[in-house]
Structure 1
Amino acid sequence: MDFTQIGLFSIAYILGAIFVFWYRKKKDDPDIFFFECCWTIADLLAYLSISELRTGSFFILAPLSLAGLFLYSYFKNKHRLVNGLLFNVFILTFGIYLLVNLYRTEDILVGGILAVALVGFLFVFLFGLYGLIIFLYWNSIVVLRRESHSLANLLTLVLAIVLTILLVSDSFLHALPSWVSVLFTIFPASLLYFFVVFLNFLSISVIYQFNHPRYDQDFIIVLGAGLLNGEKVSPLLAQRIDKAIAFYHLQFRAKKTAPRLLMSGGQGSDEKIPEAVAMKEYAVSQGIPESEILVEANSTTTYENMKFSKEIMDSLRPEGYHAIFASNNYHIFRAGMYADQAHVKADGIGSHTAFYYLPNAFLREYIAILFMHKKRHALAIGGIAIIIFLMTILEFFFGN
């Protein structure tokens, strides 16, 4: 254990953290937490790499290679679910590497990191499922008090009930014949598969929140949402427009050129005017010049938002352009997937959403993404079912 190296690392880290704070604080969009996290990771990897070089080992190449693969895949296309898988594999590999490093070097810094991780792991292991069920029931009560009683707002309640049934039924399976117990593992095995997919989705969705588009945009597509009383912008939709307006002002201050706001949203059967028209009126009331606002009023889905907006942007700037889109933070990853399908090269910026609403919102987004790739997931579940069915047959004929 080299205390000199740890001391130098600590000094470098503190000085770097102070510089990051000072430098980002001067920015219009500081996002200090994100950049401090980036500095922490970079400094830690540098420390571990130097330690490896000094001992003549190269174990760190495994997590570094996976980190590089994740970054390459992410910056090539930020809207792919596989990026979440790559990130989670990197985290798992990095954790294994830290264990190996601690065993070999007894490094106090590595030991401290693992101790913190172990406390978190034990907490999740001991209280994870029970805590999750309690949280889901609590959240469903809050949502039902504040929102409409639609199926979309009941997802946390449905999940809580399913997990409760799974927890209770597990105690009854031991009384059944062994081959029946094996057969019934299809349900928890399928849930485990969907949990892993959800974890990948959640990881990349959270990472995507820290997207920082450059201040060189020509258009900001603002995705529509339902209107209040069929004619007024809802608070949720207002948040999307406000996010676009904030970027509009930030870019103008930074580059003295402002992007045009492209309001995208058609007219639903219960709406008196197209969403895009109401959105334009709201933006004008917030001080945006009418000449800086474009209207796309034919779309009824997120895919059509992107497709029809692309047609407008292509017609105005056939030589090429830069564009981003604005929506709620929970929605921007899936919206980015639709942007790819419509061949729109654009990243998203997400507006704030009340915390109590996020669990239902992310579950809804997750289910929508599952249906976007339903054949792939159906094949995976089918494969799991076949394997378990074969195990059931073996248990029936050859089990004790």
Structure 2
Amino acid sequence: MQLVFVPIIFIIIGILILLKERRSFVGGMIFAFGGLFLTLTLLLLGLLKLGEISSNSSTLVIVIVYALFPLLFLGVCVFFVINTHTMQTKEGRSVTAKLSALVGINLLIAVPAFFYLLSVGASKIPMWLFSILIFALLSDLLFSFLFTCYLFYSWMYQMIPIKKKVDYIITLGSGIRSEEVPPLLKSRLDKAIEYYYKNPHAKIVVSGGQGVDEPVSEAFAMKKYLLSQQIPNNQILVEDRSTTTLKNMTFSKKIIFEDWKNTDYEPTILFSTNNYHVLRGALYARKAHLKAEGIGAPTALYFLPTALIREYIALLTQYKWFTSSMILFCLLFVIWSLLPIQSQNYEQLLYLIN
């Protein structure tokens, strides 16, 4: 039962950080890590307890561990591979469309390889090669688990309802090919309109510049759509210079505070984007020193896995120190576990696996 206290400590640390700043990537990841770690620990302890009850229970545990879990794992891997085919059918061939297949194939190789190496040990493989492979696979599996933590935190962030009166709703732009908004951008605008009807005094800020392959600015196309939905012209503010999410937040903040006339209190600001992008948008809002909460528009299910993987990679790139820390942790763990003093523990681990 002592194992339970470790994830609980992570959960408490994560909560303390999030209470101070809800948009903390580190706090959210620590909390999600602790929550998932606790779930897996309780599941493991439950299976061990179940196996001690009777022979029938032991059979059930064997079926779960050696049949149900592997089938579930295989199903997840196959889903990611099939999703790439769906993406390429609907969105065309691209490197981004292949991301989900790469994740599925990676898991299908990394997980069995990791446990195989542990079961074989360094007796049949040169120590230097064994160390490199263990380090690479451990890093791979850690970042795969952290992806699950990211999904949990992203979902948790969006589950907190926003009930307060809203003064401004920033709608983040996305790529356009004509003056008409594509489905992805339309869903963001429709979400903004939904909150506008709940707050008729609010103003909608359409934010997005013109890319080199775009006929007009994204803000122009968005305003055109809002006008077609009977949103009054004087309730729409235009920000048409930004080309990144950070600039969306920075330039929109400037426009909002130039428009805001009430000096008694600061305006309540929301930003509307697609559900997979809400968390990263919130982190960029924090970076721009803009106090704004995100609302997520629905995204087609076939598009969601690839979009979430892309967001996760972008966050790892943005928080390079976090990524480097995780890699360093794996390196130190491998060095520690291969020290002579750990040989007895290592042998016990091999015994449990076999």
TM exceeding 0.5: yes
Unmatched tracts of structure 1, length 5 or more: 1-59, 104-117, 253-257
Quick one: distance in 2 between partners of 1:69 and 1:346?
24
Q: TM-score, normalised by structure 1?
A: 0.70
User: Deviations along 1:148-196, whole A, 9 cap, x unmatched?
Assistant: 2222221011222323443675698549425233331112110122123
Whole-angstrom CA distance in 2 between matches of 1:282 and 1:85: 41
- Per-residue deviation, residues 227-250 of structure 1 (Å, max 9, x unmatched): 024x32111000000000011112
- Note if contact 1:182-1:391 (Cα within 8 Å) is conserved in structure 2: no
Query: How far apart in 2 are the matches of 1:168 and 1:119?
Result: 18
Asked if the contact 2:276–2:304 (Cα under 8 Å) also holds between the matched residues in 1, the reply is yes
**What is residue 53 of structure 2 aligned with on the other side?**
none
Which of these residues, 218, 236, 248, is aligned with residue 275 of structure 1? 218
Q: CA deviation at 1:206?
A: 0.8
CA contact (8 A) 1:63 1:97 kept: no
Paired AA for residue 182 in structure 1? S
Please point out which of 113, 129, 134 is paired with 2:73: 129
Which residue is 2:187 aligned to? 239
CA shift in 2, pair 1:249/1:300, >3 Å:
same
Per-residue deviation at 1:286?
Answer: 1.0
**Aligned in 2, Cα 1:121/1:348: closer, same or farther, shift over 3 Å?**
farther
User: Which has the larger displacement, 180-189 or 386-395?
Assistant: 386-395
Of all paired residues, the percent bearing the same amino acid is 32
**Taking structure 1 as reference, are residues 392 and 288 closer, same or farther at Cα in structure 2, changes over 3 Å only?**
same
1:340 corresponds, among 278, 286, 304, to 286
Instruction: Answer yes or no: is 1:223 the counterpart of 2:208.
Output: no
SS where residue 289 of structure 2 aligns? coil
Instruction: Say if 2:245 and 2:281, in contact at 8 Å, map to a contact too.
Output: yes
User: Deviation per CA, 1:18-49, whole angstroms, max 9, x where unpaired?
Assistant: xxxxxxxxxxxxxxxxxxxxxxxxxxxxxxxx
Question: Secondary structure of 2:276's match?
Answer: coil
Deviation sequence 1:291-311 (CA, Å, 0-9, x none): 110000000000000000000
Q: Where does residue 210 of structure 1 map in the other structure?
A: 159
Where 1:220 maps in the other structure, the secondary structure is strand
Aligned to 1:293: 236
Change over 3 Å in CA distance of 1:75–1:172 after alignment to 2: closer
Give me the whole-angstrom Cα distance separating, in 2, the residues matched to 1:190 and 1:333.
Answer: 24
> How far 1:279 sits from its partner (Å)?
0.3
C-alpha distance in 2 between matches for 1:342 and 1:274: 22
What secondary structure, in the 3-state scheme, does the structure 2 residue paired with 1:325 have? strand
Q: Are the aligned partners of 1:84 and 1:202 in contact in 2 as well (CA < 8 Å)?
A: no
* Cα distance between partner residues in 2 of 1:221 and 1:185: 46
Rounded Cα–Cα distance in structure 2 between residues aligned with 1:272 and 1:156:
31
| SS of structure 2 residue aligned to 1:350 | strand
Paired residues of 2:272 and 2:296 also in contact (CA < 8 A) = yes
Q: Which moved more, 1:204-213 or 1:384-393?
A: 384-393
CA distance in structure 2 between the aligned counterparts of 1:212 and 1:171, rounded to whole angstroms: 42
TM-score computed with the length of structure 2 as normaliser: 0.78
Gaps of at least 5 residues in structure 2 are 49-61, 348-354
Q: Say if 1:154 and 1:96 are closer, same or farther in 2 by CA, change over 3 A.
A: closer
d(CA) in 2 for partners of 1:297, 1:247? 22
Report if aligned partners of 1:332, 1:348 keep a CA contact under 8 Å in 2: yes
Contact 2:277 2:311 survives alignment (8 Å) = yes
How many residues are matched?
320
Report the residue type matching 1:78 in the other structure. Answer: R
1:307 and 2:264 equivalent?
no
Is 1:70–1:86's contact at 8 Å kept on the other side of the alignment? yes
> Deviation of residue 130 (structure 1)?
1.6
Cα separation, 2, equivalents of 1:121 and 1:164 = 17
